């Protein structure tokens, strides 16, 4: 009878059985050599049927060890992938926080700009009684700015005003300086259009 192996025995016992199986033939007239090979699905049953109980036991032990080794390698790779995913997620969270922080800064700065523009408009109008700030315009050059101001006055039912200068401030805003009727030079006036980059065009 082939020797039985308890599940409580360690791997050394299996190694001993392996050595015995490789050196002592089960059948005196036939010598077996145990080699692990990949068994096709078609001839797998026949391959295992040709093994003795001792050979089958050792073969199964080796295959279980190999499966455990493969499983450990897979677990290690999965663990590495999880670490990489966590690193990427943490970096993404940091970038999201930075974006949110920058959006808050932009909102604060935008409000400051709006407040400064209002103060500038108020001071400018107080110091220059002949000046008017026109908002919501779509002028891209001095000719468009001139036509835009005239259009507004025509819609209000007035005549085309005498314009001394036009200057762009902010987005969609123009400062228009009208002629002073008491100024003897008011018949010769200059139209000035300045874009947001500070580039100005003048004409008489």
Region 125-131 average pLDDT = 59
What is the structure's pLDDT at 187?
37
Coil, strand, or helix at residue 203?
strand
- Collapse the DSSP code of 50 into the 3-class scheme (helix H, G, I; strand E, B; otherwise coil) and give the result: coil
Q: What is the mean pLDDT of residues 38-65?
A: 74
Average pLDDT over residues 16-41: 46
Give the number of other CB atoms < 10 A from CB of residue 149. 22
Task: Compare 196 and 50 and report the one with higher pLDDT.
Answer: 50
Provide the token pair at 117. Answer: 């523009």
User: Which whole number is the average pLDDT over 67-79?
Assistant: 93
CA dist 170 → 118, 157, 158, 164, 201 (Å)? 11, 27, 26, 20, 17
Domain ranges in the chain are: 11-72, 128-203
Per-residue model confidence as pLDDT tens digits over 136-155: 666 667 777 777 777 777 76
Higher pLDDT, 73 or 4: 73
Q: Is the pLDDT of residue 60 over 90?
A: no
**Is the distance from CB of 193 to CB of 167 less than 8 angstroms?**
yes
Q: Is residue 31 very low, low, confident or very high in pLDDT (cuts 50, 70, 90)?
A: very low
pLDDT for the residue 44: 56
* Average pLDDT for 176-195: 48
With H, G, I as helix, E, B as strand and everything else as coil, classify residue 30. strand
Q: Give pLDDT, residue 65.
A: 93
pLDDT at 154: 74
Average pLDDT over residues 190-195: 45
Query: For residues 178 and 166, is the Cβ–Cβ distance under 8 A?
Result: no
- Residue 144: its pLDDT value, please? 76
DSSP codes of every residue in 136-177: S---SSHHHHHHHHHHHHHHTT-PPPPEEEEEE-SSSEEEEE
Per the model's pLDDT, the better-predicted residue between 78 and 11 turns out to be 78
pLDDT at residue 124, rounded to an integer: 65
Beta strands in the chain (DSSP E): 131-135, 163-168, 173-178, 191-194, 200-203
* pLDDT level of residue 127 (50, 70, 90 thresholds): low
Average pLDDT, the chain: 68
Is the pLDDT confidence value at 113 over 80? yes
pLDDT at 161: 66
Assigned token pair, 51: 């093994």
């Amino acid at each position: 009878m082939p020797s039985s192996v308890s599940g409580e025995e360690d791997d050394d016992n299996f190694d001993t059985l392996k050595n015995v199986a490789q050196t002592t033939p089960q059948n005196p007239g036939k010598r077996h050599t145990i080699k692990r090979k990949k068994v096709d699905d078609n001839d797998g049953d026949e391959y295992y049927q040709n093994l003795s109980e001792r050979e089958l036991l050792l073969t199964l032990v080796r295959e279980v060890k190999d499966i455990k080794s493969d499983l450990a390698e897979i677990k290690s790779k999965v663990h590495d992938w999880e670490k990489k995913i966590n690193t990427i997620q943490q970096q993404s969270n940091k970038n999201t926080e930075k974006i949110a922080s920058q959006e808050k800064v932009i909102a604060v700065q935008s409000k400051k700009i709006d407040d400064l523009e209002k103060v500038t408009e108020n001071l400018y109008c107080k110091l220059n009684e002949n000046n008017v700030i026109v908002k919501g315009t779509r002028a891209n050059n001095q000719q468009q700015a001139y036509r835009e101001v005239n259009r507004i006055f025509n819609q209000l039912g007035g005549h085309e005003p005498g314009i001394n200068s036009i200057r762009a401030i902010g987005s969609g805003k123009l400062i228009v300086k009208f002629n002073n009727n008491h100024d003897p030079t008011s018949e010769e006036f200059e139209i000035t259009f300045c874009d947001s980059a500070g580039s100005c065009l003048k004409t008489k």
